[in-house]
Structure 1
Amino acid sequence: MAASAAPPPGDARPPRPGLRERKKLKTRAAIREATYRLIGERGYEATTIEQIAAEAEVSPSTVFRYFPAKEDIVLTDEFDSAMAAAVRARPAGEPPLEAVRAVLRQAVETVLADRPEEFARRGRLLVEIPAVRARMTETMAESSLLLSRAVADRTGREEGDLEVAVFTASVLAALREVTIYWAEHGQKDDPAVLVDQALDTLKAGLAL
């Protein structure tokens, strides 16, 4: 069988995984889909891990192995590591903010094309459920670490460099606020355009 074509530079779509990893991704997807079905029927608070496990036809321990908390089922996706790799793959002379902008736009557009309803439901839960929003803030540290390493590699700086840390934290905070703003305003705007607007604000500062 011929190998699949490599994704273009800057593409945030994850590369095709091996068989074992595909099985894991299938299980994760089944758990996530079961969770959204149950939340739609019963509400977030009334949906338990045991119910999710039964709906997904796995054990509760399997759910916890893939997702340490119920909120993680809603928030976790497979794009963080792919995004870091895509940032590294951007043209060498491209400014860090523009490299990240291109990758974030691609990631948002890919999710909207592949899983629009999941993206919409995640946004609604971020607005409606304080625990989901709080967990998103907690788990941003892992995403920040992956992105910081990629930015440090591009700029020749140390991973623990203060400016790298501030830059990365600002970008991820901007992405978080874009998601919440989009959800709070009826999901009528183009999230990719909102990403551009948010990063323009980081670049230029807040005008008087």
Structure 2
Amino acid sequence: MDGRPSTLREQRRAETQRVIQTHAVRLFVERGYDGTTVNDVAEAAGVSPMTVYRHFPTKEDLVLVDQNGPLVADRVAATPAGQPLVHRIGGALVESARALTAGDDRFLLARLRLMISTPALRARHLDNHHVLQQAIVDGLGDEAADPDTAFRAAVAASACLAAMHTALVRWATEDGRGDLPDLISEAFAAAFGDAAPRPR
């Protein structure tokens, strides 16, 4: 019973976040990123500017914030420890992409296009890759307690994220044609050859 209010609160928070971000991305697409203010987003979402900032501390966060890091980290943690790191990490990234594109993937496509076309977002997007890289290493838990293993995991994650980024850019510039998880798998094959993670 104690968990219910917390869960309900988290659900409300997630829903408010989703509504704000949906309106923000729509306005950025319609008016341009620089032509849209946080006040515009707040008005469209029916909340105060303070509420927007509570959920998204910076304007860039309105586009870049998502729940992909924990999702990928959980999937990496659930993989068998004996597999090569590139397989574990790459497989988790492909599975996460499949979850993100299930149903309507236009929102993801709009976000990616904004990231590619807006200089401030491009810079922060690279920061997000660093955060995701660390989340992946952290997802390995005690396995990455050894500095050498943590280093190898960070290298594998960085290589996988670079290949995935190339696939994301292609998918966005081609108007979302094709299956994004398949394209990411192709990018891994191009980067790693026979060592590439294979789709499940």
TM-score if structure 1 supplies the norm length?
Answer: 0.80
1:48 is displaced (CA, Å) by 0.5
Determine the structure 1 residue equivalent to 2:38: 49
Structure 2: tracts of 5 or more residues without a match:
1-5, 195-200
Determine the structure 1 residue equivalent to 2:167: 178
Determine the structure 2 residue equivalent to 1:60: 49
1:193 aligned to 182, 186, 190, which one?
Answer: 182
Give the Cα separation in 1 of the matches to 2:158 and 2:69. Answer: 14
Determine the structure 1 residue equivalent to 2:154: 165
Q: Alpha carbons of 1:152 and 1:18: their partners in 2 closer, same or farther (altered >3 Å)?
A: closer
Give the Cα separation in 2 of the matches to 1:168 and 1:28. Answer: 28
Give the Cα separation in 2 of the matches to 1:183 and 1:151. Answer: 30
Give the Cα separation in 2 of the matches to 1:25 and 1:135. Answer: 22
Higher helix share: 2
1:61 is displaced (CA, Å) by 2.0
Question: Is the contact between residue 124 and residue 183 of structure 1 (CA under 8 Å) also seen in structure 2?
Answer: yes
Give the Cα separation in 1 of the matches to 2:132 and 2:52. Answer: 21
1:84 is displaced (CA, Å) by 0.4
1:53 is displaced (CA, Å) by 1.0
1:11-35 CA deviation, whole Å, 9 max, x = no partner? xxxxxx9212111101110111111
AA of the residue aligned to 2:55: Y
AA of the residue aligned to 2:29: G
Determine the structure 2 residue equivalent to 1:84: 73
Q: Number of paired residues?
A: 189
TM-score if structure 2 supplies the norm length?
Answer: 0.83
Question: Is the contact between residue 149 and residue 159 of structure 1 (CA under 8 Å) also seen in structure 2?
Answer: no
The percent of aligned pairs where both chains have the same amino acid is: 30
Determine the structure 2 residue equivalent to 1:34: 23
Tell me, yes or no, if structure 1 residue 120 matches structure 2 residue 109. yes
Question: Is the contact between residue 109 and residue 172 of structure 2 (CA under 8 Å) also seen in structure 1?
Answer: yes
Give the Cα separation in 2 of the matches to 1:155 and 1:94. Answer: 14
What pairs up with 1:120-139 in 2 under 5 angstroms? Answer: 120-139=109-128
Tell me, yes or no, if structure 1 residue 72 matches structure 2 residue 61. yes
Structure 1: tracts of 5 or more residues without a match:
1-16
User: For the aligned residues, what is the CA RMSD?
Assistant: 2.3
Determine the structure 2 residue equivalent to 1:109: 98
Give the Cα separation in 2 of the matches to 1:161 and 1:103. Answer: 17
